Amino acid sequence: MVNVTELRPGNYFIDENNLYQVLDILLNKTAMRKMVAKVKVKNVRTGTINELARNSGYMVENVRLDKRQMQYLYDSGDFLVFMDQETYDQVEIPVERLTWEKQFLKGDEIVEITSYEGEILGVNLPAKVALKITQCDPGVRGDTVNKPTKPATLETGLVVRVPLFIEEGEEVLVRTDTGEYDSRA
């Protein structure tokens, strides 16, 4: 157990049977009142972001998440299958829990799987992923005033806006946090 005022961004804790990640914390002490901690948190299971206000002295259970490097193998339709690099155990995660992450997984990639007491919470992707363009219209010359872009379909089915000079068959780097084009690979 840890006092709520001792939490820092990046910490994980359990409060009222919910598993939270601390995004930001603000400690407020006024006159004769107890210190109040306003904690901006993300519910790890649901993904919702809330703000909790707790008085100094309020105790929460500090937890550590297990993180393992796993290789993405394939999509079986209902599940994404990953393999542990050390034990070769395979883990299936429902597709509906990884709808965003699936757009950046192409196969044989190493990702970090986070879990808590055997419950798989999610997949941590690298900041940028190299993906090949499978369909892209040729660029139109002359329209260069406002940084023109065109849609391009990547090998995973993700559609991103790329500059006019990018052509079909090239590999580009895509940011996994926003899903936007970053640069050529």
Same fold, 66-124 and 128-184: yes
What does pTM read for this prediction?
Answer: 0.71
128-184 fold:
OB fold (Dihydrolipoamide Acetyltransferase, E2P) (2.40.50)
66-124 sits in which CATH class? mainly beta
pLDDT tens by residue, 7-46: 899 889 998 888 999 999 999 888 888 889 999 999 888 8
CB 168 within 8 A of CB 132: no
Beta strands 149-154 and 79-84, pairing class = unpaired
CB 114 within 8 A of CB 122: yes
| Residue 142 in this model has a pLDDT that exceeds 70 | no
Sequence ranges of the domains in the chain: 2-63, 66-124, 128-184
Alpha helices in the chain (DSSP H): 99-102
**For residues 92-105, average pLDDT:** 86
2-63 fold:
SH3 type barrels. (2.30.30)
Q: What angle do CA 27, 29, 35 make, to 5 degrees?
A: 70
- More confident position, 142 or 159: 159
pLDDT tens by residue, 41-54: 998 888 789 999 99
